[in-house]
Amino acid sequence: MTRHIESFMKPGADFLGSRYPIICGAMSWVSDAKLVAAMGDAGGFGLLAGANAPPEVFRDEILKTRELTQAPFGVNLITVSPNYASQLDMVCEMDCSTIVFAGSFPKEKEIKRAKESGAKVICFAPTEALAHKLIAMGSDALILEGSEAGGHIGPVALTVLLQQILFRVDTVPIFTAGGIATGEMIAHMFMMGAAGVQLGTRFVMSRECTAHYKFKEEFRKARARDAVATPQFDHRLPVIPVRALKNAGTAEFSKLQLSLMSRLERNEISREDAQYEVEHYWLGALRRAVVDGDVDHGSLMAGQSVGLMDDIKSLKEIIEEFLTDAEATILKLKQRICTP
């Protein structure tokens, strides 16, 4: 019986159209049709990663996901991707039910266009001011992703975002992400008012995830402190920090930033093109690790929650474990509150 936790989950589940408002975040080269479809079949909600895929490739992935499952799923677009505009055109034409804007902040006209296509729009809110701005621009829901998360991250920890936004905003559903890996934490997120949760790192360690076994093995061995954020060397090259397991690829990215700064100073490259080169680097480095198994020079994007897991299970088993542990947590707290 999981009736207590499921009652907390109902608003978020109704919004997403899934049985549980547990979202598998969009991870480039990881969140493919197979993982997203399996997530839906397990009762969760998967996000298909657009990354920088050509629109025709991304279209095929959407069609493949629809062939694999009848469950609802969303698409994730990275606003700083070179293919972003053409991807947005394509997903609006394909009647996608949920569009998530990530990477940076969409323009108001882009949110409007997505909503006019019939999609629900979700945006990431890294600060309180931007949360209110995105709601005013038409976002139907927000994701608060703390800096504990893996991949591209914001500057603020989830515990602070909860106090700044979750406790103060009640006009749209708020989903939380970053450092979440257990049913106990999921229970606390719902009891604090979250409509749902998004996880990424935990779902890499699923049987349905097609990531290279060497990639998963690095996750299994890692500790929380091994997942570090990349630094920004100069404000003239505003790169979004990326959290990943430290390896030779991390050092290579530092060298890339220094090289791009030198080219910027010599006016050999525009700031926009330099930012694109950064994104191109991450996509290529992530592919080398996830697809090819190059865990030395590829990017091992992972959240700090990587230190909380050491086994591989099916998505069904993972979600069932979440529900069981979340229910037990609620009952434990209920007993404490009700005991004189």
Over residues 155-199, the pLDDT tens digits come to: 899 999 999 999 999 999 999 999 999 999 999 999 999 999 999
Strand partners for 101: 77, 123
Of 29-33, 52-56, 254-258, the range with the lowest mean pLDDT is 254-258
Q: What percent of the chain has pLDDT over 70?
A: 100
Beta-carbon contacts of 237 under 8 Å, excluding residues fewer than 6 positions away, are 257, 260, 261, 264, 271, 274, 275, 278
The class level of CATH for 3-211+309-338 reads alpha beta
Q: How far are the Cα atoms of 19, 123, 124, 137 from residue 105, in angstroms, in the given order?
A: 29, 8, 8, 11
pLDDT higher at 126 or 238 = 126
Tell me the per-residue pLDDT of 255-268, one tens digit each, with 9 for 90 and over.
888 888 888 889 89
Q: What's the longest Cα–Cα distance across the chain?
A: 72
Q: Where do we find the tokens 């927000």?
A: 142
- Report domain extents, the chain: 3-211+309-338, 213-301
Tell me which DSSP letter residue 305 carries: G
**Above 80 in pLDDT, residue 235?**
no
